[in-house]
Every structure is written in structure tokens, then in C-alpha cells.
Amino acid sequence: MSTVTGTSATALPSTMRAARMHGYNQPLILEEVPVPDIRPDEVLVKVRAAGMCRTDVQLMDGYFRDYAPFSFPLTPGHEIAGEIVQVGSAAETGGCSEGDQVVVAGGWGDGTCRHCHRGDTQICAHGAWPGFGPYGGYAEYVPVPAAYIIKVDTRYNLTAEQLAPLTDAGLTPYRGIKKLRDAGALGPGRVVGVMGMGALGTYAVQYAKLLGGGATVVAFARNPEKLEVARKLGADHTINISGRSLGEVRAELRAATGQGEIDAGIDCAGAEEMIQLGFGLLGIAGHYASVGLVGDRIDIPLFPLVSREYTYHGSFWGNYNDLSEVVALAEQGKVQHTVHTIRFEDVNDAIDRVRAGEIVGRAVIKY
């Protein structure tokens, strides 16, 4: 364990509550573990709220075991908001202070590769992530490199449970929408489809309106309650795709927008059938961004991809600057939140509900 080199004005406890994985396909174990030490370049964050992502469920279910080796016990939770309670000696000159309200930017790069030098530390081949190792937001304290802390202006009265989901659910679709915008896929007279209305979709609808340059935003989902949320968040139209063919969905899209195709799509589900639907609706020279990861494979026809000159964007999480922009939008009141607070003691029940897709918006553990 690393050595504490900073000081804290407040006496810290020796142990903390944590919900940890001890193996795949097992419930989390709620236990008391030592409060972690910090390295000189780190701060210790007292977790006030931790978002519960579907990725946490996939981690528990073994989705990532073929892509990255993990050692147990492991503490999930990569959506973290809280306050600094201890500052390492080398971080004291970096603007971090005890008591700062902060969010944690995930994707901690090695600092040497070309992706890190460009600022995209979240795709560093040798990076690390909170919630995919010994420390994560499903515990009361987490050590964080000071370089990945973003301070939040307390004048705007944003709560920890509002802030925590912004670090992934609110960040990931933001980067995806920016890619569509920067590719020229959005603008007046364009139709952009938001595919899937889970937590990511609720933010994607808002960003499509904020960054879309006047594009018409259409939300596609199976759950009527989630589609109602999309309408409240600004979607121009919503289409329930449950039990409906591509032709039927296309006809409703035409009736709503005047065209049976979308010019751009952001897929917030990642299910194979949803991606097939999205590409089935995509117009000539259309752009499609995938940010969801429900499934693990896709199957789309090759000839339309080539002959209609589609562009398919992979978009993973977001970098420090992306999250800074998201936090600024939230501080300005331009982002609405759909949050359900979960007690730490109920984390396994909440995991089952996230797995079943029952929660509208984001479940957040509140300490």
C-alpha cells in the first residue's frame, strides 16, 4: 500500500465501508476495509455519491474478462463525486485543497503515449480506471491522481448525486454527440436519432438539442416511461420500437419528421438489434456513433455501409476537457438530471434492477 505524504486537518477513520467483488457472477460483499493511503501525487476523495452504471453489472457478469485481466477483490464504481479530505505532498501546489467539491475524471493514462499527449487519456493502452481495480466509488474513500480531479463551483448548489452520473452517463454521450457535430452530421434540416433511453440516452437527447445546431431530435426506445422522460428533456419526437418492424418504424419517423431516415444516430444501448435498426434507418452519407455496450458483437450489411458511404464512430467515455465542459453546462443549469438515490445497504438489489433495465435514469449510491 502506498504511503500518505500529505496532511489532513480532519482525523480520518481507519476503516471504511466498501461493496467489493470477490469473483465473477457473485453478489457484492459489503465489508469494512482499510481507508486507502495516497501517493504524493494523489488526493483522497470522500465519496459522497457514486453512479451505478450498467458497465458495473457487466463487470460483475464477466463481460470484460476477455479484454482485460482483473485481480480480486475489486471495488466497482467509476462515477464518483465527493470532496477532498487529504492532499498528497506533490499535489498541494496543483490547486487541490481539502474541502473542495470535486468529480473524478476516469481514464488515467500513462502520460507518455500519443493519445495521452493529445489529452485522450481514456483510450491509453496502458491506462487505469477507478472502479476497475482495488478502489472505486462503491467505497467511502478513493485515492485519485490529482491530475484527474475537476473542482465544482459550490455557488451553483449541485449535489453529489447530480454530479456523479455526469462523469460517465453524462460524459460518454457528450463526446459521441461532439463527434457527430464535428463530422458535419448535425444542423438545420437534419434528423438525429437517439437510440435507447437508458441513463446515457437521457443526456444524449439534451446534448443533441444543445449541440445539434437546430437538428430535429428523435428518441427511439421500447419503454413508454423512458420515452416520456425523453419528451420532457426536449426530444422533438419519440418512437416506441417495441415489437415493430423496420418498415413500421420508418413510416412513423416519416409521419413525424417528413423523412423516413435519420441523418445521424447515437446508439446509447449497444444491443445488436438496436444497432441494426439504427443502420436500417440511416440515410445516405449518414453518421452513426456507438457509445452503449449492452452486447458484444454487431452484424450489419456491408454493401450499404460502403455504397451509401456511412461513417461509423466508436466513442469511448470522454477526456478531461470533455468532462470539464459537461460540468460547466451543469453549473449553468443546462443539463437536467434523472437520478434515483440508493442506500449503500441496498446495492445488490439495485444491481439486479440495473441488470433488468428497470431503473429510469441513473441509480446513485448516496453515502
Whether 140 and 77 share a structural domain: yes
| Distance between CA atoms of residues 79 and 50, nearest Å | 5
Integer-rounded Cα Rg, in Å, for the chain is 21
Whether 233 and 104 share a structural domain: no
Peptide bond just before 224 cis, omega within 30 deg: no
Beta strand residue intervals within the chain, DSSP E: 15-20, 29-34, 42-52, 79-87, 101-104, 141-145, 149-151, 191-195, 216-221, 237-240, 262-267, 282-290, 311-314, 339-342, 362-366
Return the bridge partners of 43, or none.
87, 144
Whether 200 and 152 share a structural domain: no
Pairing of strands 29-34, 15-20: antiparallel
Q: What is the pLDDT of residue 6?
A: 54
Let me know if residue 4 belongs to a domain.
no
Residue ranges in the chain whose pLDDT is less than 70: 1-10, 93
CATH number of the CATH domain containing 26 = 3.90.180.10
Let me know if residue 5 belongs to a domain.
no
Let me know if residue 139 belongs to a domain.
yes
Q: What is the pLDDT of residue 294?
A: 87
Are the C-beta atoms of 362 and 52 separated by less than 8 Å? Answer: yes
| Nearest CA among 99, 86, 104 for reference residue 13 | 86
Read off the C-alpha cell for 50. 457514486
Whether 133 and 246 share a structural domain: no
Based on the structure, what is the number of domains in the chain? 2
- Report pLDDT digits (tens) over 226-271: 999 999 999 999 999 999 999 999 999 999 999 999 999 999 999 9
Q: What is the pLDDT of residue 1?
A: 38
| Distance between CA atoms of residues 191 and 173, nearest Å | 17
Let me know if residue 89 belongs to a domain.
yes
| Distance between CA atoms of residues 44 and 37, nearest Å | 8
Are the C-beta atoms of 143 and 68 separated by less than 8 Å? Answer: no
Cα end-to-end span (Å), the chain: 25
Q: What is the pLDDT of residue 296?
A: 83
Let me know if residue 10 belongs to a domain.
no
Are the C-beta atoms of 107 and 144 separated by less than 8 Å? Answer: no
Q: Exposure of 242 by Cβ count < 10 A (0-12 exposed, 13-18 middle, 19+ buried)?
A: exposed
Q: Which domain holds residue 103?
A: 15-166+318-366
Cα dihedral sign, 230-236-241-242: positive
Let me know if residue 7 belongs to a domain.
no
Pairing of strands 42-52, 79-87: antiparallel
The model's pTM: 0.94
Q: What is the pLDDT of residue 3?
A: 42
Whether 279 and 221 share a structural domain: yes
Q: What is the pLDDT of residue 7?
A: 57
Q: How do the residues of the chain divide into helix, strand and coil, expressed in percent and rounded to 5?
A: 30, 25, 40
